[in-house]
Amino acid sequence: MIKIGIVGGTGYTGVELLRILAQHPQAELTTITSRKEAGMPVSDMFPNLRGRVKLAFEDPATAPLTQCDVVFFATPNGIAMTQARDLLEAGVRVIDLAADFRITDVPTWEKWYGMPHACPELVSDAVYGLPEINREKIKGARLIANPGCYPTAVQLGFLPLIEAGVVDRAHLIADAKSGVSGAGRKAEVHALLAEAADNFKAYGVAGHRHLPEIRQGLARAAGREVGLTFVPHLTPMIRGIEATLYARLTKEVDLQALFEQRYRDEAFVDVMAPGALPETRSVRASNVCRIAVHRPQGGDTVVVLSVIDNLVKGASGQAVQNMNILFGLPETLGLDQVPVLP
C-alpha cells in the first residue's frame, strides 16, 4: 500500500483527490492537513466521504508528512515550493497540483505569479506531469508538477498537429471555456450564483497565467517557440473545460488518422469519430479527455475540440495517474470511473 498525505484537503482538488483515492486499491490515506479546520473529521466537511474517509484534518505543522510515501499538494500557488525541499530530503515523493514547478524559466514564473520563487533550485528537478508526453520521465521522478486544467485540454488537442509539423506553429488559437469550480473553493463575487449563472464572459484576454505553461509545452513538442493566442471564458456550469483550437494547415494530412495514431495507446484520451462534437458532460467526474478533429468546408483551417473535467483530468485524476506511473502500478488503477450523466 502507498502511504499518502494530502496538504490542503479542503478545496475542490483536495476533495477530488480524497474521492478518487478512497476507492484506490493501493492507496492508504494517512494524513490530510488544514490549518483552519484541524481536528474536524473530513466527512463532516464533505459528507460524500462518510464511511469512506475516517480521518480528521491535521495541522500541517504537526502532521506526519515525512512518514508518507507520496504527498500531494492541493494548495494555492506558492505553498508547495516552501515545503517540498524538506519532504524530498526525507525521501518523500511530491506531486504538486498548483503551478509552483510547472514553468522551467524562474523569472517567467515570478512575472506571471507575482512572487519570488522560494526554491528555484528544484524547478529543474521537477517533471511536468502530462503522461501522454512525459511518461518515461515520470517513472523516475521525485517531484512532479501536475499540469493545469486549461494546459491539459489545450496541449492534448494541439500535440498531434505540432508533433507532425503539419500546421503553422506561429499562429495557433485556443478559445477555451471553464466551469466555475476552476476558480477554487473560495468566496469571490464573480463565482456567486447570481453572478455566474445565466452568463458567459471572457477573462484574462490580455494574458492568463496558463499561457506560458501552454506555450512551454507546445514549444517542447515543436522543438522551437510557437505563437499562441489563448482566451479563457467562464461558463455557468460547475465542472468542465471545452477548448476549441484553431490552426492553419501547411501540409495535406489525414487528420483523423493522425489523431487516432497518436493516441491509440492512451487509456485516457478518446479520439471520437469524424464529425463528432464532444460535450463536457460526457467526461464529468472522469479522467478522460475526449477529442474530435474537424476541417470545416475542406479549407486550410483545422479545428480541434477537446473536453475534460477540470477537477479530474485537469487536476486530481491526472495527479493520481501520475502517482500510478510513479509507483509502477497500472496507469488506470482507481481511475476507471464512468462519467456521470445527466
pLDDT digits (tens, 9 = 90+) for 194-211: 888 999 999 999 999 999
Q: Write down the pLDDT at residue 184.
A: 87
pLDDT band at 191 (very low <50, low <70, confident <90, very high): confident
Q: Are 329 and 139 a contacting pair, CB within 8 Å?
A: no
pLDDT band at 84 (very low <50, low <70, confident <90, very high): very high
- Residue 163 reports pLDDT greater than 90: yes
Q: Write down the pLDDT at residue 280.
A: 98
Task: Spell out the CATH class of 2-125.
Answer: alpha beta
Q: Write down the pLDDT at residue 190.
A: 84
Q: Are 9 and 59 a contacting pair, CB within 8 Å?
A: no
Q: Are 305 and 246 a contacting pair, CB within 8 Å?
A: no
pLDDT band at 289 (very low <50, low <70, confident <90, very high): very high
Measuring CA to CA, how many Å separate 213 from each of 149, 175, 224?
11, 16, 15
3.40.50.1100, 1.10.1740.10, 3.30.360.10, 3.40.50.2000: which CATH number matches 149-310?
3.30.360.10
Mean pLDDT to the nearest integer, 4-23: 96
Break the chain into its structural domains and give their ranges. 2-125, 149-310
Enumerate the H helices of the chain as residue ranges.
12-21, 42-45, 80-89, 106-113, 131-139, 149-164, 193-196, 210-222, 255-262, 317-326
Mean pLDDT to the nearest integer, 54-61: 95
pLDDT band at 185 (very low <50, low <70, confident <90, very high): confident
**Catalytic residue IDs:** 149
Mean pLDDT to the nearest integer, 306-321: 98
**pTM (predicted TM-score):** 0.97
Prior bond of 342 cis (ω within 30°): yes
Percent with pLDDT over 70 in the chain: 100
Q: Write down the pLDDT at residue 30.
A: 97
